[in-house]
Amino acid sequence: MKYDAIVIGAGPGGYVAGIRLGQFKRKVLVVEKKYIGGVCLNVGCIPTKALIHSAHLLSKIKNAKRTMGLKINDDISYDIETLRKWKDKAVNKLTKGVEFLWKSNGVEWIKGFAKILNENSVEVIKEDGESKIFETENIIIATGSYPAIIPGFEPDGKYIWTSDDAVSLPFIPSKLIILGAGAIGLEFAYIYKNLGSDVEVYELMPQILPGIDKEMADELEKILKKEGIKIYTNAKAKELIKENGKIKMKVEVQNKEQIAEGNVLLLAVGRKPYTAGLNLENINVEIDNRGFIKVDKKRRTNIKNIFAIGDVAGMPLLAHKASREGIVAAEVISGVENEYSPLAVPAVVYTIPELLTVGFSEEEAIQRNLKIKIGKFPFSANGKAVASDEIYGFVKIIVNEENDEIVGIHILGPEASSMAGEASLAVEKRIKAEDLGKCIHPHPTLSEAIMEAAENVHKRAIHIVNK
């Protein structure tokens, strides 16, 4: 019995590849060692967003009680056990959904650890030690990533957490130190701050969210600091000492040594490709110097019938990038012409306010020698934002001056994630600022801020004084 494809890993890369192969009536087997839905559904995107939703509600209700005269007699608080259950319920609903979709599309799956024996056979070792060999025409590696560790800061699940620990909400530490101000570090800073922790974030680079448009990152930093999260950039962690239920971290901030004290340290310093045990070295699948599997636009590795997708195949480490690659690999295997070459891969940081970024940052556009024009529009001048008491942040649109085409959109503001689709479409299709500005947006909506930022490129936004 030979499969058309064996997919290793059931995250948003692998499970989506499985479904698309099933839609094309390919005989497909997905092998997953731990959990359907991978990191994203179980300990990443979904549970963090469930917790952020609750934390945001909590803070909104407190504010509304103060500012809008809403009468809530009891103190606003929460029950951690119920909160955990609600988060797990969201995860279970979605992972069960994946299983249902596989079944409906004729996709088989098996729980076990996959080892590639050669380009046509995969050994699956089950939890009880039993192993079985499966033959296949193609293999898709979708094994994802795991949290990066700094020597001397090894996680112990008690004092030193990774995101896997933090997302399980073991308890709310009175003082939480977070190492790394990327999306994961900042999202947990927001969650734990709003659930009652004192939070300090330390970032090695000169700005939070390294690589993201600096003006947007700086504005988010200001807002988070105002909310009471302490943030230090240019901060190099040197040493960690555990002592009587506390941790002390020696850290050099702007070249001056200081001590950070807390109950828990959360390591959020990036993620690494997960290839352990796959046997890549013996079958000669090429990896780059950071350990990511090398792939071409069709997501083929150097071995023609072995594909790699998602986190294990390189940056950016995002669920929707993994899924798109899964679709490309599945279609190529099914004989459909396709390749992965997007202009726009949107990314969202789900703090409140949210930060959406798609296309070039201002710095990147300048680095590429583009002559640019910039349009901006603040949410403080947007009717819906004012009516919802969420008047922070702004939209920034970066345009190629030579042809008016939009090359980057960055939104810091309320529900920025729900405006990501329009921003992504504009950048992917290189829509002109003139045309986006002409497109009628309903009133009152937050999305009007995008239209007005596009109009501001030509100094014609209506609800601000154009500069």
Q: Is the Cβ of residue 172 or residue 374 nearer to ligand FAD in the bound state?
A: 172
Shortest reach from residue 32's CB to ligand FAD, in Å: 5
31 binds ligand FAD (CB under 6 A): yes
Q: For residue 427, which of 403, 452, 407, 449 has the smallest C-alpha distance? A: 407
Q: What is the 3-state secondary structure (H, E, C) of 377-395?
A: EEHHHCHHHHHCCCCCCEE
Q: Is the Cβ of residue 45 or residue 365 nearer to ligand FAD in the bound state?
A: 45
Number of H helices, E strands in the chain: 14, 22
Shortest reach from residue 45's CB to ligand FAD, in Å: 4
Site string for ligand FAD, 277-316 (x = CB under 6 A): xx-------------------------------xxx----
113 binds ligand FAD (CB under 6 A): yes
- Among 7, 21, 39, 451, the residue binding ligand FAD under the rule CB under 6 A is 39
Paired tokens of 140: 């898709």
Shortest reach from residue 344's CB to ligand FAD, in Å: 14
Q: Decide: 134 and 121 in contact? Cβ < 8 Å.
A: yes
Strand partners, 202: 179, 232
Q: Is the Cβ of residue 319 or residue 399 nearer to ligand FAD in the bound state?
A: 319
- How many amino acids of this chain bind ligand FAD (CB under 6 A)? 39
Looking at residue 105, its amino acid is N
185 binds ligand FAD (CB under 6 A): no
Long-range contacts of 298-303 (CB under 8 A, 24+ apart): 298/328, 298/329, 298/332, 298/338, 298/339, 298/340, 299/325, 299/328, 299/329, 299/332, 299/340, 300/329, 300/332, 301/141, 303/119
- Among 48, 95, 361, 456, the residue binding ligand FAD under the rule CB under 6 A is 48
Q: Which of 12-20, 93-101, 351-359, 458-466 is the region at the interface with ligand FAD (rule: CB under 6 A)? A: 12-20
Shortest reach from residue 48's CB to ligand FAD, in Å: 5
Q: For residue 147, which of 231, 251, 237, 266 has the smallest C-alpha distance? A: 266
Q: Is the Cβ of residue 11 or residue 378 nearer to ligand FAD in the bound state?
A: 11
Strand partners, 161: 266
Looking at residue 326, its amino acid is G
Shortest reach from residue 185's CB to ligand FAD, in Å: 10
Catalytic residue among 56, 443, 458, 463: 443
Q: Where are the beta strands (DSSP E) in 270-392?
A: 271-273, 306-308, 347-349, 354-359, 372-378
DSSP 298-309: T-B-SSTTEEE-
Shortest reach from residue 184's CB to ligand FAD, in Å: 5
318 binds ligand FAD (CB under 6 A): yes
Q: Is the Cβ of residue 96 or residue 238 nearer to ligand FAD in the bound state?
A: 96
351 binds ligand FAD (CB under 6 A): no
53 binds ligand FAD (CB under 6 A): no
114 binds ligand FAD (CB under 6 A): yes
Q: Please say if 441 is a catalytic residue.
A: no
Q: Is the Cβ of residue 45 or residue 412 nearer to ligand FAD in the bound state?
A: 45
- Among 6, 7, 29, 44, the residue binding ligand FAD under the rule CB under 6 A is 44
Local structure of residue 162 (DSSP, 8 states)? -
Shortest reach from residue 13's CB to ligand FAD, in Å: 3
Q: For residue 325, which of 301, 302, 303 has the smallest C-alpha distance? A: 301
Paired tokens of 79: 């029950």
Paired tokens of 321: 């990038």
Shortest reach from residue 125's CB to ligand FAD, in Å: 9
Pairing of strands 264-267, 160-161: parallel
Chain residues 131-150 in contact with ligand FAD, contact rule CB under 6 A: 142-145
Pairing of strands 198-202, 230-232: parallel
- Among 6, 21, 32, 203, the residue binding ligand FAD under the rule CB under 6 A is 32
Mutual angle of helices 80-104 and 45-67, in 10-degree steps: 140
Q: Is the Cβ of residue 161 or residue 350 nearer to ligand FAD in the bound state?
A: 350
Active site members: 443
Query: Which positions lie near ligand FAD, rule CB under 6 A?
Result: 8-14, 31-35, 38-40, 44-45, 48, 113-114, 142-145, 163, 167, 184, 274, 277-278, 310-312, 317-320, 322, 350
